[in-house]
Amino acid sequence: MKKLLQVQEALTGGHRLCAGCSESIIAKQVVMASPRPVVAILATSCLEVATTIYPYTAWMIPLLHVAFENVDAVASGVEAAYLALKKQSTLPHNEDLEILALGGDGGTYDIGLQSLSGALERKARIRRICFCNEGYMNTGIQRSSATPFGAHTTTTPRGNASFGKIEWRKDLTGIVAAHHIPYIGQAAPVTLKPHDLRIKAAKGFEADGPAFLNVLAPCSRGWGFEPKDTIAIANLAVETCYWPLFEIVEGKWNLTYEPKIKKPIRDWLAAQKRFEHLLTDEPLIEYIQKRIDEEWEALLKKCDRK
C-alpha cells in the first residue's frame, strides 16, 4: 500500500463524472498497476465526455480520444507506430510503453466489437479495458447488449406492454476467450477482495500479447441507487454470482473469488430502481435466479472447481 501511495495518479480530481461514479476508481487502479509509462486511447464514453471537456483534461498521461467504434484499431496503429520508431531508435527515451485502450460496453460489446475482435485476432500487444455500466449512459440510458434481462432503460421501458429488456445479456468475456489471447480478467471495484482489480491489471500489463479486462462499473444514475452505495452494489454483484471474479491465463480458467454464502439474486435486483418492477413477479425472479445459477455452475466447471 505504501508503494501504491507513491504512484502518480493518471486521473486527477475535478472531472465532471457523476458523484459516486465507479469509472474513475477503475481507471486509477488500472493505470496504477502498470510498471511502465502508459499511453491511453479512449473511445467516446461517459469517461471521455466527463474528463476531456475542451479545453480541459483530467488526465495526467498522454491521451488520444477516438470514436465509439475504432478504439482498438487506433490502439493497434499506435502500437505499430511505436514499434517502428523503436526499431529506428528515434524515440526520445528508451523506456517501454504500455498502450491502454478504454471503452464502455457501448463501444466494446456493441459498436466496437468488430474492431476489438480484429485487434485480438492480430495479437496486437494492447491492454483493453471495458467499463461495463450496462447501457449507453452518457447518451440517455439506452439499452446495450450488456444490459441485463428485465432492466428498465429509456429504450426498454417498463410498462403495460413490456417488463424491460427481454434479451439476456451478452457474454463478452466468453467471446473474448474464444480469441485465445494470453490474459483475460473479469473484475469489479469491490472491497470484499480489494486488490483483485489491480492484480488483474498488473497481470494484463505483463502479458505477451493482448490482454482484456471486463470490469463491472456500477452507475448510480442509470441503475438507480444512491451514489454512496457504488462499492456496496459492486460487492453485491459478486456475492450473488451475478458478476463472478475470474481470470483466464493462457487458456486456463481460474476463479479468483468464491462467496462463502451465495446471496439470492433478489438482493441484487432489489438494490436498484431499474429492477423494482420485477420484484412482484416471482416467476421472473425465479427465471433470473435459474439462469444465474446455471452460469455459475458452468463457470465452476471451467475452473475445475466441480
Does the structure show a pLDDT above 70 at 2?
no
- Looking at this protein, which amino acid is placed at residue 265? I
Q: Which residue has the higher pLDDT, 100 or 10?
A: 100
Specify the pairing of strand 63-65 against strand 127-132: unpaired
Q: CB-hemisphere CA count at 13 Å for 193?
A: 21
Three cell numbers at 30?
488500472
**In which band, very low, low, confident or very high, does the pLDDT at 29 lie, cut at 50, 70 and 90?**
very high
| CA-atom Rg of the chain in angstroms | 19
Rounded to whole angstroms, the Cα distance separating 253 from 174 reads 11
Percent of the chain residues topping a pLDDT of 90: 90
**In which band, very low, low, confident or very high, does the pLDDT at 1 lie, cut at 50, 70 and 90?**
low
Q: Could you write out the DSSP letters of every residue in the chain?
A: -HHHHTSPPSB-S---PPTT-SHHHHHHHHHHT-SS-EEEEE-SSHHHHHH--TT---BSS-EEE--SS-HHHHHHHHHHHHHHHHHTT-SSS----EEEEEEESIIIIITTHHHHHHHHHTT---EEEEEE-SSBTTTTSB--TTSPTT---SSS-BSSS-BS--SPPP-HHHHHHTT--SEEEEE---SSSTTHHHHHHHHHHH-SS-EEEEEE---HHHHT--GGGHHHHHHHHHHTTSS--EEEETTEEEE----SSPPPHHHHHHT-GGGGGGTT-HHHHHHHHHHHHHHHHHHHHHTT--
Does the structure show a pLDDT above 80 at 7?
no
Q: Looking at residue 6, what is its pLDDT?
A: 61
Does the structure show a pLDDT above 90 at 95?
no
Does the structure show a pLDDT above 90 at 104?
yes
The ranges assigned to domains in the chain are 2-302
CA distances, 86 to each of 72, 83, 292 (Å):
21, 5, 47
pLDDT, one tens digit per residue, over 114-145 is 999 999 999 999 999 999 999 999 999 999 99
Cβ contacts of 298 within 8 Å, gap of 6 or more:
none
- Looking at this protein, which amino acid is placed at residue 30? V
Global confidence as pTM: 0.96
Does the structure show a pLDDT above 90 at 202?
yes
The 10 Å Cβ neighbour count of residue 134 is 27
The answer to which of 92-96, 170-174, 196-200, 295-299 has the lowest mean pLDDT is 92-96
End-to-end Cα, the chain, rounded Å: 35
Three cell numbers at 118?
480484429
Does the structure show a pLDDT above 70 at 207?
yes
Mean pLDDT of 280-287: 96
Grid cell 466494446 in the structure block, residue: 108
CATH number for the segment(s) 2-302: 3.40.50.970
Q: Looking at residue 239, what is its pLDDT?
A: 98
